[in-house]
Amino acid sequence: MKITLIGAAGVRTPLLVHGLAGLGAAAHLDELALWDTNPEGLTAMKRVAEAMAKRQGLGARLKAYADPEAALEGASYVISSIRVGGIEARVKDETIALAHGFVGQETVGAGGFACAMRNLATMLDYAKTIDRVAPKATLINFTNPVGIISQGLLNHSGVNVIGVCDTPLETFESIAHALDRNPFDLRFDYIGLNHLGWVRSIRDKQNTELLPTVLASPEIIQKCYRHGLFPSEFIQKLGLLPTEYLYFYYFPQAAIKNTKQSGQSRGQAIAALNTRIFPKLAQAADSQLIEIYEDYLRERNASYFSIEATAGERRRENQELYSKFSGYERIALLVLQALHAETPSLIPLTVRNDAALEDLEVDDAVELPCQVSSRGVRVLPAGRAPEAVRPLLLQVKQYERLTVRASVEHSRAMALAALEKNPLVGPSEAAEQVLDEYLKAFGKQMKLQAA
């Protein structure tokens, strides 16, 4: 079996190799094909990935390609994790938004819109290549914003696509730890869109509902979230447990204030980390590569959400580098294992709605629990969204639809309509100014035409 990774110069490639080492005989991996538009970064990440493969016992050949068609040809699975324009583009996405008083984040708000417009156009081009040289491949999409990219691919390509994100599983694991439970012993009912999801039920093996236990205890609620993102009384009133990204929707002004107070956006912090790691890797002996890489991961993980929530305070608790339940590499492994197993696994994924979530359209991309097995992916019926979250859910989905239309139709007018529908932007003079700045920075990559 051949798996192709698009975006292999990204710093998560060795993590993915760590996960793929757990595939086992059911899904024998012969080759991991690596492709990226950044040849220098690809060379560096391939060295670390090879060291990781050796340590973890992954016997597959790791091969870097200079041509995307050759990399994709004959692949059984394609894993995409691209950022068009690199970390420098993310910095611009976030700082332009912040300069106009909007949340500065790579997947939501104005920054998420700019990221989506660049990445979707490119992913649709890759989809055409996959259709041509690997028509039977399944595309496992990590490319952000996962919801918008997956919606565009589902509705405007012939590729079999599954959107994946580690946020739901990380949320489940945090809740389990707050309850002093093993996450493998709990069943979570989850509803929403990518980076806009809520846990509405937690049941143990005896089918006892544990959500009321969480909601009744401010102490447990606070343990569910790093940096105390949500006040306990807010969660109790909501009656659901949101994922961390809802912080930007529920407390945008706090996120903006903290980010400005810290003096840098998350993208700028990551750019600084990346600037340090790549020269270190270039000079390191093979025996030092994983140590350098894991130090990088620890520093990156320790600062996650700290800028937006605490103006830069680092997390004090020890963070597990390789969780057995959640994480980037874990969700990829779970999906691949499940697709080769007869017994279905329940995994939260971004897929075509197919009327599972009654509030949304059949062709919408939703993030819901799915039964995954060798027979395919089946989204489970979700009913209607709770009243407390339905208006936000519907508005964000409208924004996502408009963003896809703007990209596919190359329409500036539609792009402005999308920004104005976004709950973190809205109709304003600033929305048009932000769009103009993004077009100035990324016009060729966004491929928009004047109205």
**Sequential pLDDT tens for the chain (451 residues):** 999 999 999 999 999 999 999 998 778 899 999 999 999 999 999 999 999 999 999 999 999 999 999 999 999 999 999 999 999 999 999 999 999 999 999 999 999 999 999 999 999 999 999 999 999 999 999 999 999 999 999 999 999 999 999 999 999 999 999 999 999 999 999 999 999 999 999 999 999 999 999 999 999 999 999 888 999 999 999 999 999 999 999 999 999 999 999 999 999 999 999 999 999 999 999 999 999 999 999 999 888 899 999 887 765 555 678 998 999 999 999 999 999 999 999 999 999 999 999 999 999 999 999 999 999 999 999 999 999 999 999 999 999 999 999 999 999 999 999 999 999 999 989 999 999 999 999 988 898 876 5
Helix (DSSP H) and strand (DSSP E) numbers for the chain? 19, 12
Minimal CA–CA distance to 357: which of 349, 365, 348?
Answer: 365
Tell me the C-alpha distance between 336 and 141, whole Å: 13
Cα gap 342→320, rounded to integer Å: 31
pLDDT the model gives residue 279:
94
- The closest alpha carbon to 430, from 439, 420, 443, 421, belongs to 420
The three-class DSSP label of residue 162 is: strand
Peptide bond before residue 39 is cis, with ω within 30 degrees of 0: no
Give the CB-side neighbour count of residue 387, counting CA atoms within 13 A: 1
pTM above 0.85, yes or no: yes
What's the angle, vertex CA 412, arms to CA 406 and CA 414, rounded to 5? 45
What's CA 355's distance to the chain center, in Å?
23
What is the pLDDT, as a whole number, of residue 216? Answer: 98
Q: Tell me the C-alpha distance between 258 and 378, whole Å.
A: 41
Furthest-apart CA atoms within the chain: distance in Å = 59
DSSP per-residue string spanning 270-319? HHHHHHHHHHHHHHS-GGGHHHHHHHHHHHHHHTTTHHHHHSSPPP-S--
**pLDDT for the residue 303:** 83
| pLDDT on residue 341 | 95
Q: What is the pLDDT of residue 319?
A: 65
pLDDT value of residue 451? 54
- Whole-number pLDDT of residue 302: 84
**Beta strands 31-35; 138-141: pairing state:** unpaired
CB 249 within 8 A of CB 422: no
Backbone phi, then psi, for 100, in 5-degree steps?
-105, 10
User: How many CB atoms are located within 10 Å of the residue 37 CB?
Assistant: 14
Report the pLDDT value the prediction gives residue 379, as an integer from 0 to 100. 98
Burial tier of 384 (Cβ tally within 10 Å: 0-12, 13-18, 19+) = exposed
Q: Which of 447, 448, 449, 441 is nearest to 85 (CA)?
A: 441
Query: What is the structure's pLDDT at 448?
Result: 85
Domains and CATH numbers, the chain: 2-86+99-163 (3.40.50.720)
Closest CA to 282 of 50, 12, 43, 88: 43
